Every structure is written in C-alpha cells, then in structure tokens.
Chains A and B, each alone.
Chain A
Amino acid sequence: MLSAERGPSSFDVDLEAYQGPLDLLLSLIRDEKVDIYDIPVARIAQQFLARIRHLPLDEAADYLEMAARLLRIKAQLLQPRHEADDLWEDPRAELVRRLLEYQQVREVVDHLDHMAEDRRGRFARAWLPEAATPPVAPLAMSLPELMAAVDRVLRVTRLPTLHEVVSRSLDVPGAIETVRGALALRARLRWRDFVHDGAEPWQVLSVLLALLELAKLGELRLAQLKPFADVEIARDAAGEAA
C-alpha cells in the first residue's frame, strides 16, 4: 500500500522482511559475519542508517530509536579510558543482551511456526454449536387488533415516488460524420460550433466521444489553451496526408 508512495528504492522491499530494528541488526551482523560479542559499532551503525533511509515516517520510529542508540554507543566507545579501569563497562553489553534475547525468540518462533503449520493441516469437525436462542413468544393478538395494526402501518406509509427514466442512446457515428463534414469545409473549428447552449447531455457526450475517436484516428488535433476555455479543433495535417 505504501510502497507506491515510497519510490523505487531497492531497500524498501528488504525492510518489509524485517520484524523490527533488532531483526535488521541481527541480519546485518550475520551478513557482515561479525562476532555478536564484539560488534564493530561504527560499521554496523552506518549500514543500519543506510538501510532505514527510505522508511516511511510512521514505521521509522522504532528504527530511529535504535539508530540513535547505535550512535550513542559509538560515541561512548570513542571516549578515552584507562587500561586498568576495572569499572569500565562495555557500552555494547546491553545491546548484545537484547540481541541474544531476541535471537532466542526467533528460534522459538521457527519451532512454533512449524507446529502451527502441522496443526493447520489437520481438520476437525467444522460444525459449531449455535448460541441457544429463546423460542419466539406466541403472538397474543386478536384478528381485529391485527387488522387495526396493519391499517395504522398502511396509513403512515407514504406513496412511493416513482421516477421515469427515459433511455437515450448516444449517437457517436452520427457525431463523427458531422465533425468530419465540418472539418472538410474548414480547417479550424471550436467546440462551440458543435455544441450549443441547451444541448441535451446525450448530444454533448456524442460529440465528445466523436472528437476523441477522431483524435485517436489522427484525423484532428484537440487543444485547450487554458482550463474551461473553448476547445480548439484543427484538422491534422499528418492524418490528411495519410
């Protein structure tokens, strides 16, 4: 649905296949064949940004959050630190933990998908019990009461309004003949020459279709210099030659 608005970038199709930023990260790590415990953040962040560049805004939020996270980790890794600093914690640790956790979810999903597929292929009885409905109460009403009720209903019902529709078919061949005849006499004509004020809709449509048909056949050219201006009709020189 959105793909049409997004333009022809090759990344769009790819991103459809991902379940989210973690999924995209995992596949980048796989594709680049890097160690998940020692992720080259600068390289992965750059590729991540390249992949999400063409995301539509409503889907981008989750990916942008991850992009920001990657850039922050990258910045933290660039800060100088002392070799003997025991308190130093790898800024990538939290991300690695989430990736591993997510990877486990993906593995389980593969299992579950297989199980669901197996079950989906086995049919049970299709009959479902209907909700119990109470029996309809017997009609407690005398005949005169019923007739009075019918009378009341009929009285409030207005007579339906009927419209008569007269079908009038278009006369395109006739219009074509008229236009051809007129063009044989004059090289240039205007829409108003064929359609007069007060013309019936079927006449207007017939002329319109006739003009389009003749334009398609190359017998004339149509031009409208500005919106709502009179349409100019000119004999087509090429069509004439042929």
Chain B
Amino acid sequence: MWRLPVTPLAKLLEAALFASARPIPTDELATLDAEASPAGVRAALDEIRETLDNDGHGVALVELGEGWQLLTRPEYTEAIERAQLAVRPARLSGASLETLAIIAYRQPIGRSEIEEIRGVAVGSVLKALVERGLIDIVGRAEGLGRPLLYGTTPLFLEHFALRHLGELPRADELAVALRPLIKAAEPDEDGVADDADGESAAPVAAADATR
C-alpha cells in the first residue's frame, strides 16, 4: 500500500508523547518546534493518531485531561496486568464517586451543599479526594464563615478520560437539575449573582491548575 511519509513534526511529537507520563496540552506540544504552527501541530497529531489506529499498534493516541497521551489499548489490559508490568489505580468508592459527581456538576460548591444532596457527612471523603488530587479548593463562598468551595482538577478529567467538563454525561441537563430548587426558584438577579460568584472562583482554579 502506498503511504505518505510520516512528517518530521509528527515523529517529534510522537517521541515527546512517548516520553511523557502525563497528557501534554496542545500548546505545550507546539513549543517543541519553534517553527510549528498550531494548525501544523493539529495535523501532526491527527497523523500520529491515524498511523497508530490504521497500522495496527498496541497503543493509541488519546485526547484527555486537557492534553494528549499515548495509552495502551483496552484489549491488552488483562495480559499486562497479569504479567504485573503495570498496576491499575485503585478504584474509587461509591461515596467518593457520589461526592465527585456532585462537585463536577455543581462546582464551585461547598461542603454543606454536598451533604445536603448526599444526606451524609462528607468531610473525610473530601479530604481523601483532595489528597488524591481529583478535587481542590477553588475559593471561598460569600456568607457566614466564608466556607471553602471545591472544584475538580485536570487530574479528574484524566481519571475519567474526559477532555473537558462539557463531556460529562448529560452535562447541560444535570448541571441545572442538580441545583437545589430553592435556588432555581429565586428571581433572576440572584441567578446572575451566582454566575458572578462562579467567575470569581474560576481564576483561582486556573491558577491552581498551572501551579
């Protein structure tokens, strides 16, 4: 079969992706070659992905967690694990998943709101999730005691192989549904105020992410 020769940029990016243990964001990949344009990087990434998919490779190029990463294909998981060459990360408990889900859809969100939805105390679960790097403190709410607000981290996206929060299942529907009705019933001005809060917390999250 006649094939296009692999471009030098694609080879360079493939090498970088192979060497990295974490997903590499597109703009970071662009810094590998000063002459590469963003469009050129995109094209090279497509080239790598297609080569890996079409030529029959055991790894695939996956976009997740705000970057790109080479991952083994699912059909080889068992064999690799049986040979003890790699270990799967620990599975999250039901309590952790519930708490994470609420934070993911409702961030930034305080502890008391999470407890209201789940109906149980979540202090220790929050601490464990922060320690695992899946959530972080992204700001403080206005109001009594200025409670801490939590949000998800880039590692959260990686853990669930998401590119961004918009890829969460039924994101548009549930972000609204998981908002307590008391809030939804409030007049519009309050809704605007809520959004402003969200924006004020967002830069903190971004700062955390770049740290």
Contacts and interface: CB of A to CB of B under 8 A. Distances in A.
A104 B117 CA distance: 10
18 contacts: A20-B118, A20-B120, A98-B117, A105-B101, A105-B102, A105-B178, A108-B174, A112-B160, A118-B74, A119-B158, A121-B88, A122-B71, A122-B74, A122-B161, A123-B80, A124-B21, A125-B18, A125-B21
Contacts of A62: 119-121
Contact of B118 (A22, A118, A123): A22
- Sorting the interface of chain A by its residue count into under 10, 10 to 19, 20 to 34 or 35 or more gives 35 or more
Interface residues of B, number: 48
A188 interface: no
A98 B119 contact: yes
Given A19-B98, A104-B174, A105-B117, 6 more contacts: A62-B120, A101-B180, A118-B161, A122-B161, A123-B71, A125-B18
A124 B119 contact: no
Interface in A124-154: 124-129
Interface string B96-127: 01101110110000000000111111000000
Given A104-B178, A125-B21, A66 B119 contact: yes
A238 interface: no
A104 B177 contact: yes
B86 interface: yes
Nearest to B75: A121
For A19, A23, A97, the residue with the greatest tally of chain B CB atoms inside 10 Å of its CB is A19
A101 B105 CA distance: 12
B121 A126 contact: no
A72 interface: no
A190 to B, nearest CB: 57
A101 B178 contact: yes
A109 interface: yes
A128 B21 contact: yes
Nearest to B88: A120
B34 interface: no
A112 B168 CA distance: 8
A98 B118 CA distance: 9
Interface string A102-121: 10111011011101111111
B62 A122 contact: yes
A108 B117 contact: no
A137 B180 CA distance: 60
A101 B114 CA distance: 12
Contacts of B105: 108
B153 interface: no
For A62, A101, A102, A128, the residue with the greatest tally of chain B CB atoms inside 10 Å of its CB is A101
Contact of A108 (B73, B77, B170): B170
Contacts of A115: 160-162, 169
Given A101-B178, A105-B101, A109-B101, A125 B70 contact: yes
B101 A108 contact: yes
Interface in B146-180: 158-162, 168-170, 174, 177-178, 180
